[in-house]
Amino acid sequence: MVQQLPAIIVVTPLVASFVIFATGWRYKKPTYPLVIGVLAACLFSAAAILASVIKNGAIDYWLGGWKPPWGIAYRIDHLNAIMLVLISLLSLLTAIHAKKSIERELPERTTLFWSLFILLITGLLGICITGDLFNLFVLLEVASLSGYALIAMGEKKALYASFRYLVIGTIGASFYLLGVGYLYMATGSLNMADLAQLLPELYHSKMVLVGFAFIFFGLSIKMALFPMHVWLPDAYAYAPSAVSAVVAPLMTKVMAYVMIRVMFTVFKPEFSTVLFQVTDIMVWVGTFAILFGAIMALSQDDFKRMLTYVIVAEIGYIIGGVGVANAIALKGAVFHIVNDALMVACLFLVAGQIMYRTNGHRIDDFKGMFKTMPITAAIFTVGALAVIGVPPTCGFFSKWYLLLGGIEAGQWGFVAALLVCTLINIALFFRVFDKGLFTHTHGTVPVHANPAGNPNAGEAPLSMLIPAFSLAIVIVLVGVFNQTIVNHVIRFTIPPGF
Amino acid sequence: MPDAFSITYRPVWAIIWPTLVALFILFTGKRPNIRESGTLLGSLALCLTVLSMTPVVLKNGPIQFSVFDLFPGIDFAFRVDALGLIFATTSSCLWILVSIYSIGYMRTLKEHAQTRFYFSFAVALLGAIGIAFAANLVTMFIFYEILTISTYPLVAHEESPEAISAGHKYLAYLLTGGVFFLIATLVTYFLVGTTDFSYHGILGPALDTTSGVTLQVVFFFFLIGFAKAAWMPLHSWLPSAMVAPTPVSALLHAVAVVKAGVFGIIRIVCHIYGIDLMQALGLGVVLAGIAAVTIVIANFYAIGQNNLKRLLAYSTINQLSFIILGVALLSPMSVTGALLHIPFHGFMKITLFLCAGAITAITGIKTISDMNGIGRVLPITLGAFVIGAFGMCGAPPLAGFISKWHVALGAVESGQLFFLIIICAGSLLDVVYFFPVIRTAFFAKMPASETLETDLEPKVELYTEKIPVVEYEQPLYLFMVIPLAITAVFSIVYCLFPNTFGIYALAQMAVKNTFGGM
């Protein structure tokens, strides 16, 4: 049983998705418990896999017993293992959180929602677990297609945003597929480990070069790396709250994971640092992404849109960190994938709670939050401080590694961008704090009046508070125990040769 | 199993008390009396915990306690040494008095959001104590940021547009400073692989691998990081923050915030750079120059103020730079004086602020020109004010005399006579702007009550002969007057017995550690 966990973690949600789709129309009641059960099982398997990887090193799993390079091989090392835990943890918490908001926002379509939601998680888990480039593409499409559909369920503008995302996303995926095709033409293999052995002799071949470039470009589109981010803000801002809370933190981070995987496992680090020198470009693209994301975020009135630009900036952190190309910065980049997913998810959950109470997610809707929704406000505070990078929340620690790596490599532009972004983040979130904290009026308006004049005002329901609060605690714990995580997991994700 | 209250764990308890108080306040916010008793008990416990460490540190040296590791070579750790104890003693003693005072002040003025006020106050104390006991730069940074963020709701407490913009200014200066502090810390860590405070500095070996210019630049980054010390031109947040309620001003000026900035600079000078390196890089003179300029300019600003609290703010800027000057002179005597000035200035300045707050709370008067004859109406309050003001000028028998004397001696000792002139001129200018206040309060003619009736209708009663009776009938008034009387008495006690609470011994020990065998 334990040996089969890598298969179980993908197959269970896949089957569940179809089961829900097939039976949910008639039997609505068991859907939700089934979803929670499946996601809990995923989290359990992911944790068990991570524990096993920490204890015994990387796991090789051949699907159906077929040997690579013919069969599909799963190879789970520290990097995938932590991604699996991250994805299953966030999806479980979001699923618990989503029950109420979905009942409110999509009352007619809960079954469809849950079916697609689970399918999305299947795709994300699969992308992270697979050791095969083509299999990765298939799962990427599984995740993306369900993502498009989920986003389209959102507010009025969501349909248009989703369609745009679909077009741009498909272009990205096609680029990726083309790149994989080139690599296959050059080597005749799709297995990552196999490719890693075959490719070094072909590093000077134009075909490999073009293949790498296509993959790189395709992934950049999928992860919304500036300036290919245009699809992201609308798509994530207008999606249903539950969808934003899982797609926004995970989709882009998983793509960043794939980028790291391709650059440092399929190819050797020398390829992108010395031969192709793509890392130099990455630092600068990252730097501009950070500045652009931060400045755009500053000009938003809508909390969710503001967060989407924060994501654009955070992707810049990660890509810039990879581009700095030393062990410390890469540690920071990998750690930031984890941290950023946690804190962005936390903030989107808060947005969901505010939405549930005020039917809006503009910054104005946060008015009086500290009075009417004190626990939500506390959760928001933790998430916001983490994004700003205030210790002891986890955001500080990955930023520390990124900055230290930047200093070591002498990438002062990147370091400056990180610091400027920190300052802008302060401005961003203190705008919300101001709205939430200061309700006292000096005129004739009664003090502490019901903020939005909304009959639902009050603390969010418990089923939303518990997962969001747990996430806030996780954010602090990851910060406090960052040394444990770095020493036991993230240290091993640094490829040899760094 | 060692006893949980044993001396090893005391630094942690010092952190736990304010945390507990903060949580207690959150959960008892609806019952003000219980909430305030919690604050008082917690502050008392903190004060006792801090004071109990003094004899141990004096006898056995620093108490170290590492909680967990943050980065390779950096722990989240506390190290209670003489220097930290001076700051912690000041903060924790004054917290008790400010808590008592707040009860009177906040209730008299029927302020809103009192729970938020007391909560933020407790968290700010957590930050201050953490800064005092931090064992390395990163731990210090963590608490430094906690202190900044927790004081923001306090500064913006009034929630008027003016208060909110003062809060924004406060954040803009201090959090930007925090970013510089962070980058300086990172470079330090990058250069020498550690950020632990050490008696003779840690950056000395870095000169082998990097140029002096880098270290000079890093030093300025640290200075910008400690914008809390309000040196010019990074001072303007402090006068703006005066819109906050008086207990907050007391917190900013005496208990925690600006002292944290000065304390940070002392830490950097003594325990990151070290006296030798400071001299080798010529940074001492530069720092002293900045301090001297600030002292003179701040004094002139103060002379022109009509708002009492703003006047006090500029006085604080001046006194803080006096502390910086004492350290920058890099002589044992002057550093002793600077260290002594932290608690001494704390007690004297808090007296002044509590007086200003009491005047405002009772009569509604904020500007000096309206204070004609108020000394005869509020004799205890203004009496305390006179004591504080004379202390600021450095007149014996008040605490300010001791510290100023030491710094002046240090200037002579190190042969930097130019700065001796600055010290004397600064003290003289202190007299120039405090004297008019005292004269107005005691010797100017009381205004005729007809004019007052139009201006200050509800408060007019205070200007009649019955006033003293009215005051003493109000228990809330006592909550304000007793703390300020205590701090005034302490301002005198510290001159006569500088070693109260072991402050003088601690300062001597800190200096001895920093300067080696002297």
Rg (CA), chain A: 22
- Asked if the peptide bond before residue A461 counts as cis, ω within 30 degrees of 0, the response is no
Please give the residue of chain A at the shortest CA–CA distance from B142: A391
Whether B69 contacts chain A with CB within 8 A: yes
pLDDT of residue B105 exceeding 60, the answer is: yes
Residues in A whose CB is inside 8 Å of some CB of B read: 370, 385, 390-392, 397, 400, 403-404, 407-408, 415, 419, 422-423, 426, 430, 433-434, 437-442, 447, 480-483
DSSP string, B348-402: HHHHHHHHHHHHHHHH---BGGG-TTHHHHSHHHHHHHHHHHHHHHT-TTSHHHH
Separation between Cα atoms, residue B475 and residue B166, nearest integer Å: 32
Separation between Cα atoms, residue B490 and residue B360, nearest integer Å: 23
Question: Which among B503, B270, B202 is positioned nearest to B262, based on CA atoms?
Answer: B270
Q: Is the dihedral of CA B36, B41, B42, B44 positive or negative?
A: positive
Please give the residue of chain B at the shortest CA–CA distance from A385: B149
pLDDT lower than 70: segments of chain A:
1, 440-457
Supply the pLDDT for residue A403.
93
Contact indicator for B119, B26 with CB cutoff of 8 Å: yes
Q: Provide the angle, in degrees to the nearest 10, between the axes of the packed helices B332-363 and B379-393.
A: 160
Q: What is the least distance, in Å, from the CA of B87 to any CA of chain A?
A: 23
Contact B116 A370 (CB under 8 A): yes
pLDDT of residue B1 exceeding 80, the answer is: no
Contact B149 A385 (CB under 8 A): yes
Give residue B69's pLDDT band: very low, low, confident or very high (50, 70, 90). Answer: confident
Task: Give Cβ neighbours of residue B214 (< 8 Å, ≥ 6 apart).
Answer: B187, B191
Residue among A392, A415, A426 whose CB faces B175 most closely: A426
Residue among B76, B168, B179 whose CB faces A419 most closely: B179
Please tell me what DSSP assigns to residue A107: T
pLDDT tens, residue by residue, A390-436: 888 899 999 999 999 999 888 899 999 999 999 999 888 988 888 88
Query: Which secondary structure element, helix H or strand E, spans residue A61, and what is its range?
Result: strand A59-62
Residue among B68, B179, B186 whose CB faces A480 most closely: B68
Supply the pLDDT for residue B181.
92
Whether B186 contacts chain A with CB within 8 A: yes
Contact A407 B187 (CB under 8 A): yes
pLDDT of residue B381 exceeding 60, the answer is: yes
Please compute the mean of the pLDDT values over residues B213-217 and round it to a whole number: 89
Residue among B142, B153, B175 whose CB faces A437 most closely: B153
Task: Give Cβ neighbours of residue B120 (< 8 Å, ≥ 6 apart).
Answer: B150, B151, B153, B154
Contact indicator for B226, B84 with CB cutoff of 8 Å: no
pLDDT of residue B39 exceeding 90, the answer is: no
DSSP string, A344-386: HHHHHHHHHHHHHHHS--BGGGGTTHHHH-HHHHHHHHHHHHH
Whether B418 contacts chain A with CB within 8 A: no
Supply the pLDDT for residue B474.
61
For chain A, give the number of residues. 498
Question: Which among B403, B455, B443 is positioned nearest to B426, based on CA atoms?
Answer: B403
Residue among B68, B145, B160 whose CB faces A390 most closely: B145
Contact A404 B153 (CB under 8 A): no
Q: What is the least distance, in Å, from the CA of A404 to any CA of chain B?
A: 6
Contact A440 B71 (CB under 8 A): no
pLDDT of residue B377 exceeding 90, the answer is: no
Please compute the mean of the pLDDT values over residues B351-378 and round it to a whole number: 83
Question: Which of B174-188, B250-264, B369-383 holds the top average pLDDT?
Answer: B174-188
Query: What is the pLDDT of chain B when averaged over all its residues?
Result: 84
Please give the residue of chain B at the shortest CA–CA distance from A402: B186
Taking the model in full, what pTM does it have? 0.88
Please compute the mean of the pLDDT values over residues B336-340 and round it to a whole number: 91
Please compute the mean of the pLDDT values over residues B163-190 and round it to a whole number: 90
Contact A423 B179 (CB under 8 A): yes
Contact B145 A422 (CB under 8 A): no
Burial of residue B448 (CB within 10 Å: 0-12, 13-18, 19+) is exposed
Separation between Cα atoms, residue B196 and residue B188, nearest integer Å: 10
Backbone angles phi, psi at B113, to 5 degrees: 50, 45
Percentage of chain B with pLDDT > 70? 93
Q: Which residue bears the tokens 């005496």?
A: B254
Please compute the mean of the pLDDT values over residues B23-43 and round it to a whole number: 86
| Strand, coil or helix: A389 | coil
Separation between Cα atoms, residue B85 and residue B503, nearest integer Å: 8
Separation between Cα atoms, residue A356 and residue B114, nearest integer Å: 29
Whether B27 contacts chain A with CB within 8 A: no
Task: Give Cβ neighbours of residue B305 (< 8 Å, ≥ 6 apart).
Answer: B311, B314, B368, B433
pLDDT tens, residue by residue, A220-242: 999 888 888 888 988 888 888 88
Number of H helices, E strands in chain A: 20, 2
pLDDT tens, residue by residue, B41-53: 989 999 998 888 8
Supply the pLDDT for residue A106.
82
Contact indicator for A85, A48 with CB cutoff of 8 Å: no
Backbone angles phi, psi at B296, to 5 degrees: -65, -50
Supply the pLDDT for residue B452.
46
Residue among B70, B71, B186 whose CB faces A407 most closely: B186
What are the chain B neighbours of A392 within 8 Å (beta carbons)? 76, 142
Please give the residue of chain B at the shortest CA–CA distance from A431: B168
Residue among A370, A422, A481 whose CB faces B179 most closely: A422
In Å, how far are B152, B284, B509 from B514, measured between CA atoms?
34, 15, 9
What are the chain A neighbours of B68 within 8 Å (beta carbons)? 480-481, 483
Supply the pLDDT for residue A103.
84
Separation between Cα atoms, residue B290 and residue B305, nearest integer Å: 23
Give residue B453's pLDDT band: very low, low, confident or very high (50, 70, 90). Answer: very low
Supply the pLDDT for residue B518.
44
Residue type, A169: G
Supply the pLDDT for residue B264.
93
In Å, how far are A58, B244, B289 from B317, measured between CA atoms?
60, 17, 15
Task: Select the residue from A385, A415, A434 to test the B interface by mutation, using most B Cβ atoms within 10 A.
Answer: A434
A209-A213-A218 Cα angle (round to 5): 150
pLDDT of residue B462 exceeding 60, the answer is: no
pLDDT of residue B315 exceeding 60, the answer is: yes
Question: Which among A235, A257, A289, A233 is positioned nearest to A79, based on CA atoms?
Answer: A257
DSSP string, A221-248: HHTT-TTS-TTHHHHHHHS-HHHHHHHH
Separation between Cα atoms, residue B170 and residue B243, nearest integer Å: 12
Please compute the mean of the pLDDT values over residues B383-395 and round it to a whole number: 87
| Strand, coil or helix: B136 | strand
Residues pairing with B340 in the sheet:
none
Contact indicator for B128, B260 with CB cutoff of 8 Å: yes
